[in-house]
């Protein structure tokens, strides 16, 4: 009891605490889980959910991330009609269909992946992002199908594909159907590689399970946000299995960069400009500036890693080119043979004319 309550007449209660709570609107402050700073949410939104005190990158929704990444005009959502299907009629404590309905209501998304087509600094791109708040960003049929169709569209239009991953792995409620998405997404990424269409994977916190073992680490360029976690199994499970203490920072993006699992670490605020310059390198277009000048880039790939996208040759053209190359090689072999014979005769003449040297 406060001192003011003691001196107030009986039946009169102090409303100081209630008044104070009523005058502070809810939803205006958020505590950083890393440095415990209390942050003003509008300022945090303007800073793209990055703590201004310690630089901690908080999780961000899929739609918000794509809105920040793509240019303002001309973007459109693609393959939004793909929805999850409860083929196994799965049930644990709740039916799977009820869990899906709850996740759809709370997030406003049909499943854990959002795909959009737009531009990045004027360059057409297709970008997909995981919604971690939808079943932990887990990959089931709908996620794998939407990613595959987005990749096929990028392949058809020969424009880059960028993926922002945040997932706990394959969705257990869909069993083998979800595991098959690993093979399906990996296969379509291989088609992108074969056609020379750039695929850039951006790892955000966290990436685990089947997503990390398939589409998240198969990019031509694998980028991560600072302090993001990525691996197949979690560190607690690994420690219990091997009965050893894991090194500090294990599975964090800085650890992965040091051990060669990813190519670079980029701050969220620098992703747009950095990826625009990297894609310009891949496509062989004029670059707006050096990637190394970007303040958030920890390490940039070598220039030789940039492979320009080339149109596929027809079978007839390829056959003519192969025949011409074979003919050229045959002529070169004959020339080399004649040159070798002449050189051999010349050396024989020199040996006959020049007396042997004496070591004395």
Question: Integer distance in angstroms from the first to the last C-alpha of the chain?
Answer: 115
The residues near 7 (Cβ < 8 Å, ≥ 6 apart) are: none
The residues near 292 (Cβ < 8 Å, ≥ 6 apart) are: 300
**Is 51 annotated to bind ligand?**
yes
Half-sphere exposure of 202 (CA within 13 A, CB side): 24
Q: Which residue has the tokens 């690993």?
A: 182
| C-alpha distance from residue 243 to each of 60, 79, 166, 237, 249 (Å) | 35, 45, 28, 10, 18
Closest-CA residue to 156 (of 114, 191, 208, 183): 191
Q: Which two tokens stand for residue 29?
A: 């402050």
> In whole angstroms, what is the distance from residue 355 CA to residue 359 CA?
13
**Is 54 annotated to bind ligand?**
yes
CB atoms under 10 Å from CB of 103, counted, come to 20
Binding-site residue set for Zn(2+): 32, 35, 51, 54
Binding-site residue set: 32, 35, 51, 54
């Amino acid at each position: 009891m406060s001192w003011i309550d003691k001196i107030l007449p009986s039946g009169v209660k102090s409303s100081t605490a209630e008044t104070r709570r009523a005058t502070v609107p809810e939803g205006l402050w958020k505590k950083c889980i890393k440095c415990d700073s209390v942050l003003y949410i509008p300022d945090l939104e303007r800073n793209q959910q990055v703590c201004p005190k310690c630089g901690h990158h908080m999780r961000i929704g899929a739609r918000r991330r794509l809105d920040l990444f793509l240019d303002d005009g001309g973007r459109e959502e693609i393959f939004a009609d793909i929805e999850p299907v409860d083929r196994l009629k799965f049930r644990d404590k709740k039916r799977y269909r009820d869990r899906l309905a709850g996740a759809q209501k709370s997030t406003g998304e049909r499943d854990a992946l959002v795909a959009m087509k737009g531009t990045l600094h004027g360059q057409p791109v297709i970008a997909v992002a995981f919604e971690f708040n939808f079943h932990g960003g887990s990959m089931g049929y709908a996620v794998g199908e939407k990613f595959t169709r987005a990749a096929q569209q990028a392949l058809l239009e020969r424009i880059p594909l960028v993926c922002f991953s945040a997932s706990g792995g394959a969705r257990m409620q869909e069993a083998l159907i979800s595991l098959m998405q690993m093979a399906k997404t990996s296969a379509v990424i291989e088609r992108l590689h074969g056609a020379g269409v750039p695929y850039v994977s951006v790892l955000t916190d966290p990436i685990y399970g089947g997503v990390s073992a398939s589409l998240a680490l198969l990019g031509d360029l694998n980028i991560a946000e600072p302090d993001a976690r990525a691996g197949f199994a979690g560190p607690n499970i690994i420690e219990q299995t091997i009965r050893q203490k894991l090194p500090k920072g294990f599975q964090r993006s800085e650890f992965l960069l040091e051990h060669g699992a990813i190519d670079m670490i980029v701050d969220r605020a620098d992703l747009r400009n950095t990826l625009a310059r990297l894609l310009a390198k891949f496509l062989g277009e004029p670059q707006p500036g050096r990637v190394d000048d970007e303040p958030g880039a920890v390490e940039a790939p070598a220039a030789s890693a940039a492979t320009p996208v080339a149109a596929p040759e027809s079978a007839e053209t390829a056959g003519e080119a192969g025949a011409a190359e074979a003919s050229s090689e045959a002529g070169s072999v004959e020339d080399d043979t004649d040159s070798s014979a002449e050189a051999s005769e010349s050396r024989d003449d020199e040996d006959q004319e020049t007396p042997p040297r004496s070591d004395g």
